[in-house]
């Protein structure tokens, strides 16, 4: 048994050595040609087809850029033009909902762009703000029906620090996009 294992080990060693030696004696054909050309001082350059994109944007790129600009403008307008006389927390909530609606209206254009991460960030911030508005109003109606019932605003909990920070982050992200 010991002899069989030893013989198998030597067999693997010999096969590995032969494999290594066969690769050392010449390499591939391209390397041989390059070495010969360098030794003789004549180097031939092959023509490589140009696969680079055109430097000028295509019509489709221009339309996509215009669509993104319109979407960003819509998001910014929704954010800036939404106000509320109830309280600051409710105004933040309404702004976040307006941003969500603007993103939803342009969802495909935005999510298929290089700004996908920023849009996802805005949506996460909006979700957090929406949840905190629910938390503020849950003592009135735990089903979430009091979120927008402003007649109960005097019973809402105060606006959380999270909501205020999420608002600032949302504002900063929108400013970066526009």
Question: What whole-number distance in Å separates Cα of residue 166 and Cα of residue 164?
Answer: 6
Alpha carbon distance 21, 27 (integer Å): 10
Along the 178 residues of the chain, how does pLDDT read in single tens digits? 555 555 555 555 555 555 555 555 455 555 555 656 655 555 555 554 544 444 444 555 667 677 788 888 888 887 787 777 788 899 999 989 998 888 888 888 888 888 899 989 999 999 999 999 999 999 998 888 888 888 988 899 999 999 999 999 998 998 888 7
Count other Cβ atoms within 10 Å, centred on residue 15: 10
CA distance 12 to 19: 11
φ, ψ at 76 (rounded to 5°): -65, -45
How many helices (H) and strands (E) the chain has is answered by 7, 0
* DSSP string over 9-58: HHHHHHHHHHHHHHHHTT--HHHHHHHHHHHHT--PPPPPP--PPPSSPP
Tokens found for residue 71: 């979407």
CA distance 74 to 45: 53
Tokens of 81: 């033009």
What is d(CA 177, CA 68) in angstroms, rounded to the nearest whole number?
10
């Amino acid at each position: 048994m010991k002899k069989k294992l030893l013989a198998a080990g030597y067999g693997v060693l010999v096969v590995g050595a032969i494999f290594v030696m066969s690769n050392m004696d010449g390499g591939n054909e391209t390397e041989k040609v390059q070495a010969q050309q360098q030794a003789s001082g004549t180097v031939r350059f092959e023509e490589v087809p140009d696969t680079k994109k055109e430097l000028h944007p295509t019509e489709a790129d221009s339309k996509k850029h215009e669509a993104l600009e319109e979407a960003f403008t819509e998001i910014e307008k929704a954010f800036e033009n939404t106000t509320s006389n109830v309280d600051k927390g409710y105004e933040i909530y309404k702004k976040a909902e307006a941003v969500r609606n603007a993103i939803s209206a342009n969802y495909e254009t935005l999510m298929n762009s290089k700004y996908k991460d920023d849009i996802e960030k805005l949506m996460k911030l909006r979700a957090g703000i929406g949840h905190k508005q629910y938390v503020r109003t849950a003592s009135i109606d735990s089903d979430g029906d009091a979120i927008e019932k402003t007649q109960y605003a005097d019973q809402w909990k105060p606006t959380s620090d999270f909501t205020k920070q999420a608002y600032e982050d949302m504002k900063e992200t929108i400013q970066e996009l526009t």
